[in-house]
Every structure is written in C-alpha cells, then in structure tokens.
Amino acid sequence: MGRRLTVYFSLLSPWAYIGHSELLRLAAKHALALDFRPVALMELFPETGGLPLPKRHPFRQAYRMVELQRWRDKRGLNFHLRPRFWPFDPTRADHVICAMAQEVDPSAFIARAFAAIFEQNRNMADDKEITAALRESGDDPAWVLRAGTPEAAALYAANFSSAQAAGVFGSPSYLLDGEIFWGQDRLDLLDDALASGRAPFTVPA
C-alpha cells in the first residue's frame, strides 16, 4: 500500500491546473493514494493573510503573468492566460469533486474541468458544462446532482476546516505526513521527499 498524499486545491487555481498532470505522474511513480480536497480559496485567503489577485500590487500581478508563461512552456501546456470565464464561482464543481472523492477517483474529472476552464474557455460554474466534463472524463454525469446535497456542502466545509488545521494557505498544497508543499513548483521537492523516505520537516521549536 502506497503512502497517502492530501491535495488541497481550487479549480480557480491555474497553478493547481499546471501541476495536475505532474502530480498524477508522481502518484503513479510512488504508488501514492491521492486524497483530493477542494477548498474555498477566496475564503481561505483572508483567513491566512493572502490577497485576491485584483488587490495585489501591480508588480505582483505582472510577475504572475510572466510566471504563467514560463510554466506553460515548462509543462508543455497550451492555455489562456486570461480565460474567458475566470474568475468564476467554483463551488458547484468543487462539490461534485467532494462527492466523487468519497466513492471514486475524481482525478480524470479534475483534469477535464481544468482543461475546460483554462484551455477551452468554458464556464465551469454552469451545470451543463460540469455535466459535459463528467461525460468527457468517463464519469457518471449524475454526479452533478450530488453537488446540491447537504452532504457535499458539509464535505466542502470540512475540507476548509482541515486545511486550516494543517496550516494550508494557498492552492495547490500537497500534504505528506503533515509536511506542506505549497505550489506546483514544489513537486520536485515532493518527489525527493518521497524517494528518500525521510521524516517530515517541521518548524523548529
């Protein structure tokens, strides 16, 4: 049985999208069990001292655009820097993932949702688009019906609480034995930690 990696992320996050395929590669390489936990990113930011993109200094916003282009080339992706329907309310699609993760592997749907948002300019706040993405990923389109249930909402809220308890403050955050790797640009460091089998690093007393 492989090790367990908890993945805190938001469909709003281009960085989670950029790292998704590499994350799946690492999971296969190390026989990782992936525990996908979508979180309400716009609620997490103010709780942890972060700022939503429009409130960041123009220098930071400009640098972000350069970094997106660098990583687009690095990962061999083809995506829009300013997707048509971004930002959007990811709650509905996130609820679908919450429900799926209790019973099936949601990674293929997550990949299709990311592609729809960042590559195809589709509105993933729309039930029709969510249903289409489920079909495209080979998943049951009926999962969209679970998005409106109290159970899905409770799972989403629980993800937020567990993210806070773990010290998560951004997307994506990969949690391995209590150690946070924040950002898809830390996947190499995660790979090293998995390969070495070292004990998790902690904050010195």
SS3 136: helix
Phi, psi of 144 (to 5 degrees): -65, -25
- Phi/psi for 147 (5° steps) reads -65, -25
Confidence of residue 155 (pLDDT cuts 50, 70, 90): very high
* Average pLDDT, integer, range 30-39: 97
Superfamily of domain 4-196: Glutaredoxin (3.40.30.10)
Task: Give the model confidence (pLDDT) of 179-191 as tens digits.
Answer: 999 999 999 999 9
Task: Say which residue, 2 or 199, is predicted with more confidence.
Answer: 199
pLDDT value at position 46? 84
Q: Which of 12-16, 120-124, 143-147 has the lowest mean pLDDT?
A: 143-147
Residues 6 or more apart whose Cβ sits within 8 Å of residue 114: 11, 16, 17, 20
Q: What integer is the mean pLDDT of 55-83?
A: 97
Overall average pLDDT of the 57-67 stretch = 97
pLDDT band, very low/low/confident/very high, at 1 (cuts 50, 70, 90) = low
Q: Which two tokens stand for residue 50?
A: 């972060």
What residues contact residue 203 under an 8 Å CB cut-off, 6+ apart?
Answer: none
Sequence-separated (6 or more) residues with CB below 8 Å from residue 38 = 9, 10, 11, 90, 94, 97, 98, 156, 159
Averaged confidence pLDDT in the chain: 96
Q: Pick the residue with more confidence: 61 or 2? A: 61
Contact in structure between 194 and 3 (CB atoms under 8 Å): yes
Copy the structure tokens of residue 4: 């367990």
Q: What is the pLDDT of residue 79?
A: 98
Looking at 1-5, 15-19, 92-96, 150-154, which range is the least confident one?
1-5
162: which 2 tokens? 């567990």
Average pLDDT over residues 99-128: 97
Q: Domain coordinates of the chain in residue numbers?
A: 4-196
